Structure 1
Amino acid sequence: MTNAPIADRRSHIRTHHGHSFDDPYEWLREKESPEVVAHLEAENAHTDAETAHLADLRETLFQEIKGRVLETDLSVPTRRGDWWYYSRTEEGAQYGIHCRAAAAAGDWTPPHLEPGLAVPGEEVLLDGNVEAEGHEFFSLGSFAVSDDATRLLWSTDFEGDERYTVHVRDLVTGEQFADEIPNTGGAFFTPDGTGILYTTLDDSWRPDTLWLHRIGTAVDDDVKLFHEPDERFWLGAGITRSRRYLVIAVGSSITSEERLVDLDGPITAEPQLVWPRSEGVEYSLEHAVVDGEDRLFILHNDGALDFELVSVPASDPQGERRVIVAHESGRRLLGMDAFRDFATVEYRSEGLERVGLLDYATDAVDELSFDEPLYSAGVSGNPEWHSPFLRLGYASFVTPGTVYDLDLATRELVLRKQQPVLGGYDAAEYGQKREWAVAPDGTRVPISLVWKRSFGEPGAASRPLHLYGYGSYEHSIDPGFSVARLSELDRGVIFAVAHVRGGGEMGRHWYEDGKKLFKRNTFTDFVACAEHLISTGVTTADRMVAEGGSAGGLLMGAVANLAPEKFAGILASVPFVDALTSILDPSLPLTVIEWDEWGDPLHEAEVYEYMRSYTPYENVRSDAAYPRILAVTSLNDTRVLYVEPAKWVAALRVAGASDVLLKCEMVAGHGGVSGRYNSWKERAFELAWLLDTLGLAKA
């Protein structure tokens, strides 16, 4: 190791509930300080020096990723109104190009578009490469075409801080309107296309207000339609697929409330409350017309841990509830999409996503079947109220992303496209399966494994292994395909996912048992998965690298303190490793909202003590032999501030950790760098470090 940057220690006392903590690196929070910037640049220079020997491997990995991607490609067109909408990429271009082509009357079969060939009648709506010119970072936020197909709105972020500016263009004349709306979250057109509905963010990055902007008028004259004052709640809005209602939704992690505006009347009318908020009750709604009556289908967890689906009259949403899909323990209802003649219901059972078709006449749900033992499937890209096809997305660890259209008349799955993987990829050469670890409290924890068969089955001989985990917000790590992952698998690495508590893989209880005062289950589950993989001969501690990002980065920091001897390395992306400091400060972005997930340590001593017992930064051990650690962050991240990994790395070094690196992107946000080539290079950097840690740098 070259001489690593050593941050100054400056006393900063924080006192809560009778406990004082001296935080010597809190000064690194001053983002605009030249001293802080210089420290981050020194960290980057140190990381560059320590990974210089991997330059050739990084380039090899980048070329492998790039070489497997069809760089000039198109998405499957989606019909909306009289147009087919799609996006395409061009070789050498960082960003997508959004297009449309006219649809023939009555033709619902998407046109077969050949990559690289001119599309008959193509109209380019927005070229991300043009938008990004002159900017180091570019993110496209909202993107919408008016119902009459004559206007386009889109929003841009050039900093990575997720505050977007809305722009509008006339698609008939090509004129770009002078209207620009800053500081937005989401945005979409009113049904008549003359106005824009959008949300704005408060100082804590919380969408809190819904506005109506009339195109061609001053933003200062915009009409406030709704404001949510409670700092725990986010605000969102949208229009039902039926185009009948504007839905205004507010929600925290555990509570939601929705209002409707009937678009048969003025959009500025007083919103109608559906169900009043009740602490711990979540719900979402869809509009359908059943036997000539407007009905609201509401998915909720009021007395139903894994949710149930009910129907109520749209004219009296707080009236009698008719149960459509009853609550069933272990079957977590996830969502519903209503169409003119039927609905889809998505749910999770036995750790896998399921899709069923709901018959309005009988309330029966007909589940679609798929062949693989591990897979992900879901409804996506269906803007029309009535269509003879239902668009579905499908993937597994070994099957590239696939688009199907379900023929609703025949129930036949029609393959529209599968993600091309160049270089002779053969899914049969790779295997996937699920195993189960046992946590300290006896809970069985699923582990998904994927590997290349030519290296032998897992457990036949010890192999290098990459173990990924997340475990928060009821977010599930479902089976999915990755081109970049092939570079690991083809070198003999087994990739594994630890489906730890705090996620949603096994139902709502799986989430409840890994949050707030049960958060430690997330960490001990991950360690149990690592121990299982070692004890069954799949790998050894010196051949295993762990990875997690954001809240999964908190998992990485906690695991590093709990069981540093179980891993050769830990890769932590935008890691939430100074969790207690952040959750104690309601002035920071999103903190108050996060109390539903982690608890409120500011006002509750029990929560404070519990978080203090696991938060990685405050529990760095001077008696531990830490594995190699790479922390990756971004200066403009508003979700997990760069200061958290910066402080953590500084504390690890002082505690004696001998190989700890920090890489800070100076122009990026929570999702890292922008642009597909840049993101491939970033992943190649991480994979080179990971392979080096596994002893495969020359492979």
Structure 2
Amino acid sequence: MKTTFYSLLFTALISSGMAHATQPAAPVAVQQPYTVKSPNGDRQDPFYWLRDDSRTSPTVLDYLQQENDYFAGYASKYQPLTTKLTDEIIGRIKQDDSSVPYNKGDYSYYRRFETGQEYPVYARKSLKDGTEQIMLDVNQLAQGKDFYQVANWQVSPDQNLLAYMEDTNGRRQFTLKVRDLRTGQDLPDQLTGLSGSLAWAQDNKTLYVIKNDPVTLLSTKVLQHTLGNDPASARLVYEEKDNSFYMGVGNTLDDKYVMIYSSSTVSGEMRVQDASKPQSEFTVIAPRQRDFQYTAEHLNGRWIINTDWDAPNFRLMTVETAKLGDRNNWQPLVAHDEKVFIHGFEAFDNYLAISERSDGLRRIKVMPWNAPDKAFYVASDEAAYVTTFETNPEQNTDWLRYTYTSLTTPQSVYQLNMKTGEKKLLKETEVLGGFDKNNYATERVWATAADGVKIPVSLLYKKGFKADGTAPLYQYAYGSYGSSSDPSFRSTVFSLVDRGFVYAIAHIRGGQEMGRHWYEDGKLLKKINTFTDYIAVTDYLVANKYAAKDKVFGMGGSAGGLLMGAVANMAPEKYRALVAHVPFVDVVTTMLDESIPLTTNEFDEWGNPKQKAYYDYMLSYSPYDQLSKQAYPALLVTTGLHDSQVQYFEPAKWVAKLRTLKTDNQPLLFKTNMEAGHGGKSGRFSRLAEYAQEYAFILNLLGQTE
């Protein structure tokens, strides 16, 4: 099959109604009186009716389809460009690719894709005779489904059973299934309405899963299910009473313990159980306290702990298993450093590998247990890069696996001998379509924020680029939850870079690129720093002639979509267009409603609007509330009907209101994926085709047809 087949197929998939020959009129949503009540003041929301929790209202679905038809009619003007971009983007992907295998027990495990197939195949090979066994062929499981995802899978300790979590609509409410790897058949055991995490006890028949609240979708109950028993009889082993906490379950690396994680924005707590005694009680590693976070891993009878206890950038500590329950028993291991943020660690018998961030870069430090003063860093030859841990399932080894990438270097998996320093490249992701990383350059610059703070910016462009103020700019950022936007390789963006764009990642406050303070300065009552930082980066890049002032394009998704909405209100004249994927734009109304999934978990991120100080501050930047009669940039907005993280009605209302207020003639496009959730379509080609649709929208605005 030729690549063109995929482009035609998947452009059609994401452009429902693309065959319309003429552009329909922009939809006009009716307005109905509705009062959003609050202790701190009531607000009128004439588009509140677009919220339908059942997602079955004919009126709502008809309006969303009208918007989809309008999008399709507009996009039909540049269909050849979309097709070309889809061919190009998919053409960079090695379709019959596979991950680097890792050994555990008697098998080597890996994931592979087959040519023309949307979904992965999860397989393993016997270390004795090399025989391959397909555990899950997701292509077969997904047949006949508009959306399908395997979110997690775990093999039982005896290696005979595979527990996996599936989602069939994108709402991230999973069903547990168990496959007997000896027969290839699924057992009758099924539990529904779960989060994606799971764990095994060592008896090979006891599984731990988390039941979600059916309304708020919060993870609330840890259940212990014994294979063969009625799923309705699953035993409750822990219930989370605080609705500001998320939960997860898992096993320690050595499989000796089952762990329950509870975490909020500012606090954490872990419980552990001997995996050989599934009827025993769980032990708390340290009781929760506000502003006290930690995670832990077991190693040879003791626990290694990463914590922010008296350490904003985190430090490492240790405690013996017999002394769990009181953090005062913890002993220092790696001290706090105000210039170094510790993300996590991998604990080996003879070495400790630490993932840390300094000067805005992710890097790995290796420390021998018997000679801490001889710690060393994994080296890099590039100015901006990312090193993170690969799968390291064995503790009794001198080999560390890690991933290296940069804006110009595809993801590369290395193996480092921590004893000898020997380094092996196991795989560099192959990029097809004539890609040559030597044709591109990356740069790190620093923009000055409104309050004088220096904001790091990672840039990518073709070699030979001249900063003469003529280039178009594609500027990305996220800036929330302490999530850092690392300068990692992204093959799709080369479709813009090859057409003369500068690609910029703005490492704005609200992320954690510069340490914990970077996050603290971009949340709650300092949230507006996130937006002004983004605008300051744009100003810097234009002033220093990295970009033409009339060719600046911004993109963000989810909380980054909130960023796009705020920027559109605050500085619309500085952007030719903004792309907002699944945007969180109705901040106040959502945070007032504790029945909406995730709301209560996020009071420490955004604030609780039932308190006047937070209400007033959130209202001052909420994109939906701050819309006004003014000219806006061109906008492409996307959502998923089944999104459980940012409900579809937020962007739907935002677009409907914006149509009544905008004074410009710029396109305003809104696309709802009727079969997907927060992450978009589930197939790999379908997702790539959505990038092509976005890039075609941008290039068309510049008059580019090739």
- Give TM-score, length-normalised by structure 1: 0.95
Work out whether 1:668 is the aligned partner of 2:704: no
Asked whether the equivalents of residues 176 and 191 of structure 2 are also in contact (C-alpha less than 8 Å), the reply is yes
Work out whether 1:652 is the aligned partner of 2:662: no
Asked whether the equivalents of residues 550 and 576 of structure 2 are also in contact (C-alpha less than 8 Å), the reply is yes
**1:250-295 Cα distance to aligned partner (Å, 9 max, x none):** 010110011121235x222121111111101111111122xxxx22
Aligned-pair CA distance for 1:32: 2.1
2:345 equivalent in structure 1: 336
Asked whether the equivalents of residues 447 and 498 of structure 1 are also in contact (C-alpha less than 8 Å), the reply is yes
2:68 equivalent in structure 1: 44
Asked whether the equivalents of residues 103 and 109 of structure 2 are also in contact (C-alpha less than 8 Å), the reply is yes
Aligned-pair CA distance for 1:67: 1.3
Task: Give 3-state SS (helix, strand or coil) of 1:268's partner.
Answer: coil
User: Which residue of 69, 92, 105 corresponds with 1:68?
Assistant: 92
Q: Which amino acid aligns with 1:587?
A: S
Q: Which amino acid aligns with 1:402?
A: S
**1:310-341 Cα distance to aligned partner (Å, 9 max, x none):** 11222113243321111110211111222222
1:113 equivalent in structure 2: none
Alignment of 1:196-207 (within 5 A): 196-202=207-213, 203-207=215-219
Structure 2 CA distance, aligned partners of 1:361 and 1:320? 22
Task: Give 3-state SS (helix, strand or coil) of 2:459's partner.
Answer: strand
Asked whether the equivalents of residues 142 and 188 of structure 1 are also in contact (C-alpha less than 8 Å), the reply is no
Aligned-pair CA distance for 1:235: 1.3
1:452 equivalent in structure 2: 462
C-alpha spacing 1:653/1:385, structure 2 compared with 1 (3 Å): same
Task: Give 3-state SS (helix, strand or coil) of 2:309's partner.
Answer: coil
Structure 2 CA distance, aligned partners of 1:460 and 1:323? 53
2:9 equivalent in structure 1: none
2:221 equivalent in structure 1: 209
C-alpha spacing 1:153/1:263, structure 2 compared with 1 (3 Å): closer
Q: Which amino acid aligns with 2:190?
A: E
Alignment of 1:259-270 (within 5 A): 259-264=271-276, 266-270=277-281
**1:643-669 Cα distance to aligned partner (Å, 9 max, x none):** 011111111110025321100000001
Aligned-pair CA distance for 1:104: 4.2
Task: Give 3-state SS (helix, strand or coil) of 2:518's partner.
Answer: helix
Structure 2 CA distance, aligned partners of 1:18 and 1:246? 45
Work out whether 1:193 is the aligned partner of 2:204: yes
Aligned-pair CA distance for 1:25: 0.4
Structure 2 CA distance, aligned partners of 1:650 and 1:329? 46
Q: Which amino acid aligns with 1:513?
A: D
1:171 equivalent in structure 2: 181
Structure 1 CA distance, aligned partners of 2:167 and 2:251? 24
User: Which residue of 135, 141, 145 corresponds with 1:135?
Assistant: 145
Task: Give 3-state SS (helix, strand or coil) of 2:568's partner.
Answer: helix
2:18 equivalent in structure 1: none
Aligned-pair CA distance for 1:161: 0.6
Asked whether the equivalents of residues 225 and 268 of structure 1 are also in contact (C-alpha less than 8 Å), the reply is no
User: Which residue of 232, 236, 244 corresponds with 1:220?
Assistant: 232
Work out whether 1:479 is the aligned partner of 2:503: no
1:488 equivalent in structure 2: 496
Alignment of 1:355-374 (within 5 A): 355-364=364-373, 365-374=375-384
Work out whether 1:325 is the aligned partner of 2:334: yes
Moved more, 18-27 or 319-328: 319-328
Asked whether the equivalents of residues 584 and 601 of structure 1 are also in contact (C-alpha less than 8 Å), the reply is yes
User: Which residue of 387, 400, 405 corresponds with 1:395?
Assistant: 405
1:114 equivalent in structure 2: none
User: Which residue of 610, 614, 632 corresponds with 2:617?
Assistant: 610
Moved more, 612-621 or 195-204: 195-204
Structure 2 CA distance, aligned partners of 1:578 and 1:208? 26
C-alpha spacing 1:177/1:18, structure 2 compared with 1 (3 Å): closer
Structure 2 CA distance, aligned partners of 1:438 and 1:270? 53
Structure 1 CA distance, aligned partners of 2:699 and 2:366? 44
Q: Which amino acid aligns with 1:640?
A: V
1:81 equivalent in structure 2: 105
Alignment RMSD (CA, Å)? 1.4
1:250 equivalent in structure 2: 262
Structure 2 CA distance, aligned partners of 1:146 and 1:160? 27
Aligned-pair CA distance for 1:236: 1.1
1:311 equivalent in structure 2: 318
Structure 1 CA distance, aligned partners of 2:208 and 2:330? 31
Task: Give 3-state SS (helix, strand or coil) of 2:556's partner.
Answer: strand
Q: Which amino acid aligns with 1:286?
A: E
C-alpha spacing 1:2/1:176, structure 2 compared with 1 (3 Å): closer
2:635 equivalent in structure 1: 629
Task: Give 3-state SS (helix, strand or coil) of 1:309's partner.
Answer: strand
Which blocks of at least 5 consecutive residues in structure 2 are unaligned?
A: 1-22
2:452 equivalent in structure 1: 442
Aligned-pair CA distance for 1:18: 4.2
Moved more, 318-327 or 393-402: 318-327
Q: Which amino acid aligns with 1:324?
A: L
1:115 equivalent in structure 2: none
Task: Give 3-state SS (helix, strand or coil) of 2:329's partner.
Answer: coil
Instruction: Give the aligned length.
Output: 675
Q: Which amino acid aligns with 1:330?
A: K
Structure 1 CA distance, aligned partners of 2:108 and 2:410? 24
Structure 2 CA distance, aligned partners of 1:276 and 1:188? 22
Work out whether 1:678 is the aligned partner of 2:689: no
**1:4-28 Cα distance to aligned partner (Å, 9 max, x none):** 0011111111232442211010000
Structure 2 CA distance, aligned partners of 1:153 and 1:15? 45
Work out whether 1:274 is the aligned partner of 2:285: yes
2:245 equivalent in structure 1: 233
C-alpha spacing 1:320/1:154, structure 2 compared with 1 (3 Å): closer
Structure 2 CA distance, aligned partners of 1:409 and 1:606? 55
Q: Which amino acid aligns with 2:350?
A: D
Asked whether the equivalents of residues 88 and 433 of structure 2 are also in contact (C-alpha less than 8 Å), the reply is no
C-alpha spacing 1:340/1:18, structure 2 compared with 1 (3 Å): closer
Structure 1 CA distance, aligned partners of 2:628 and 2:128? 67
1:116 equivalent in structure 2: none
Structure 1 CA distance, aligned partners of 2:279 and 2:668? 56
Aligned-pair CA distance for 1:388: 4.0
Asked whether the equivalents of residues 261 and 270 of structure 1 are also in contact (C-alpha less than 8 Å), the reply is yes
Structure 2 CA distance, aligned partners of 1:255 and 1:196? 27
2:6 equivalent in structure 1: none
C-alpha spacing 1:48/1:278, structure 2 compared with 1 (3 Å): same
Aligned-pair CA distance for 1:461: 4.0
Which blocks of at least 5 consecutive residues in structure 1 are unaligned?
A: 106-119
Structure 2 CA distance, aligned partners of 1:259 and 1:363? 29
Structure 1 CA distance, aligned partners of 2:641 and 2:183? 40
**1:617-665 Cα distance to aligned partner (Å, 9 max, x none):** 000010x210100001000001001101111111111002532110000
| Percent of residue pairs bearing the same amino acid type | 37
Asked whether the equivalents of residues 432 and 448 of structure 1 are also in contact (C-alpha less than 8 Å), the reply is yes
1:108 equivalent in structure 2: none
Asked whether the equivalents of residues 637 and 670 of structure 2 are also in contact (C-alpha less than 8 Å), the reply is yes
1:5 equivalent in structure 2: 27
Q: Which amino acid aligns with 1:37?
A: L
Aligned-pair CA distance for 1:524: 0.3
User: Which residue of 527, 534, 540 corresponds with 1:526?
Assistant: 534
